[in-house]
Amino acid sequence: MPRIAPHGAPNGPTRHRPSERVNISQKDSIYGYNPFMVERVPSSDETVESLIGPDDPAAFEAVNADGGAALQLVCDHASRVVPASLAGLGLDDDQFDRHIAYDIGAADVTRLLAQTLDAQAVLAGYSRLVIDVNRPPGHPESIPQVSDHTPIPGNQGLGEEEHNRRVAEFFEPYHDAIMEDLGHLWRRGKPPALFSIHSFSPEFGDAVRPWDVGVLWNHDPRIAMPLIDTLAAKGLKVGDNLPYSGRDLAYTINLHGGAAGLANCAVEINQNQVRDAVGIERWAGILTEVMAEILDTDDIHRVQEY
Ligand SMILES: [Zn+2]
């Protein structure tokens, strides 16, 4: 496994623009550089330049670090950004306005909640099409070759090395940040809770998803049950493990919450309701109110295995 120089490392390699990276092998110099098809096998002591270039954002965004609440917020699908080195994964720009690239509205709801609940938040810095941080590495949807019937050219035919680099550069820093934040919160006092914010597309193929919001949970009911009840009491149409089930798709909350016995839950907001600032503020307000009440109970802040 080659070392990957962190961005800005004092002794890091000279950076090249992708178009200059043609002298990787004879084959590439003959056929021209194709960022999607290069099978690069560096020697074990060779340093490989980062996929994240100097003009790209970091692999994660930390908001309100050292917030006062015993609560960690996470947003797996916050971003639609692709690093310049991956050349838009071969997709047209308008594909990045779609739900296949990110969860519309989820990042801004998360940032607002971090303020209103005085909670730490970690948001993924890159599109789920680069790598889905809510899937384990190796899962067929981790680096999807097709998403909602759209083929992703830049994800076709990747070798082990390219998979491992995306894991190392985008997936691991995000999850490491969540782990560090949770450890920090826990050392400071009572066991923290974990709350994950997503949004869902109201149409998927021919299926219409009628819910205002879905609550996704696996085995731990401590946040999910009161959240479902209080949201429904506000007259909202609430999906209990719908449109997705937390028993199928809950990698991040299982990894950082469930495995540690920390109270955890994910929410999926109908993306049509968080497309603009008014909707985002409305949903941040709703979730602030209900989560503040739930977090005020002792049951949430103890270790419990399910
Ligand atoms: Zn999502």
For the chain, 306 residues long, the average pLDDT of each consecutive 10-residue run is 42 34 34 45 66 97 95 98 97 94 98 98 98 97 94 97 97 98 95 97 83 94 96 96 81 96 97 97 98 94 95
State the distance from the centre of ligand 1 to the C-alpha of 77, rounded, in angstroms.
5
What's the 200 CA to ligand 1 centre distance in angstroms? Answer: 7
Q: How far is the CA of 167 from the centre of ligand 1 (A)?
A: 18
43 CA → ligand 1 middle, Å: 37
Q: What is the C-alpha separation between 251 and 79, in angstroms, rounded?
A: 18
Closest CA to 287 of 236, 218, 211: 236
CATH classification of the domain holding 242:
3.40.630.40
Among the three residues 34, 50, 66, which one is the final residue of a domain in this structure? 50
The amino acid sitting at 229 is D
Q: Which residues of 233-251 are buried (b: 16+ CB within 10 A; e: fewer)?
A: eeeeebbbbbbbebeebbb
Coil vs helix vs strand at 163: helix
Cα 27 to ligand 1 centroid, rounded to whole Å = 39
Domain that holds residue 43: 1-50
Q: How many helical (H) and strand (E) elements, i.e. helices and strands, does the chain have?
A: 7, 13
Residue 146 lies in a domain: yes
The rounded Å distance from CA 170 to ligand 1 centre is 16
For residue 151, the CA-to-ligand 1 centroid distance in Å is: 19
Residues 42 and 140 in one domain: no
Decide if 306 is inside a domain: no
* Ligand 1 ion: nearby residues, β-carbon < 5 Å: 77, 103, 198
Q: How far is the CA of 251 from the centre of ligand 1 (A)?
A: 11
CA of 132 to the centre of ligand 1 (A): 9
**Ligand 1 center–CA 100 separation, angstroms:** 9
- Residue 88 in any domain: the answer is yes
C-alpha count within 13 angstroms, C-beta hemisphere, residue 9: 15
The total domain count for the chain is 2
Is 82 part of any domain? yes
pLDDT at residue number 206: 77
Is residue 89 included in any domain, yes or no? Answer: yes
**What is the pLDDT at residue 41?**
54
Q: Mark whether 56 and 201 lie in a shared domain.
A: yes
SS3 114: helix
pLDDT for 102: 97
Does 136 lie in the same domain as 111?
A: yes
Asked if residue 42 and residue 99 are part of one domain, the reply reads: no
Backbone angles phi, psi at 36, to 5 degrees: -95, -20
In the structure encoding, which two tokens stand for residue 261, read together?
């016995």
Q: Is 168 helix (H, G, I), strand (E, B) or coil?
A: helix
Structure tokens belonging to residue 280? 């985002």
The answer on 1 and 111 residing in a single domain is no
What is the pLDDT, as a whole number, of residue 85? 97
